[in-house]
Amino acid sequence: MLNKLIIITVISMALSGCFTSKTSKPVVVIDRSTAQEGVNAITHSSDEDNAKKTMAKNHEPIPVAGEIIKFFSKEHQGLTFNTYFNQPVRAIRDGVVTYSDKMKDRGKMITIKHPLGFYSSYAHNQTLKVANGDEVKKGQIIALAGKDYFYLEMKKFGTLINPLNYLK
């Protein structure tokens, strides 16, 4: 009984150090999945700079050719592009289509599951070129944009993330 009490006390003291901080050093979280092939983070000074540099590097525009008119924020959890009607929409990475149908407030939409827990959603399309279960490749035309602005959203393990950090 005394041994159990000593073990619990030692474990409690060790764990209490996890919840208290004696130094003011910042904690740095490293997302190792961004070093994997096909998923690379882009780090620049601002979202606008990211967009310009990302668009300049691409030979074919991914996901669409067009100016980003709304950037990722707490209120707007994706990217909105100024596109033209029937403009090609391309997959941002290889993956498998998990949703391809009409959605009430997003028009015709496609969601693709990518490796490493990433998902991308492409909304406000006129025509869908892929169906549920289809395998797609990066740059493949998956839809044609509709009359409304095109919207791209990304998630990693269910958490919304800024797509601009993963476009290249």
Task: Please state whether 142 falls in left (phi above 0), alpha (psi between -120 and 50) or beta.
Answer: alpha
For the stretch 12-65, pLDDT in tens is: 666 665 555 555 444 444 444 443 333 333 333 345 554 444 444 445 778 999
Domains annotated for the chain, with CATH where assigned, are: 39-165 (2.70.70.10)
The residues near 23 (Cβ < 8 Å, ≥ 6 apart) are: none
**CA 120, 98, 89, 34 torsion: positive or negative?**
positive
Confidence at 104, pLDDT banded by 50, 70, 90: confident
Entry pTM: 0.66
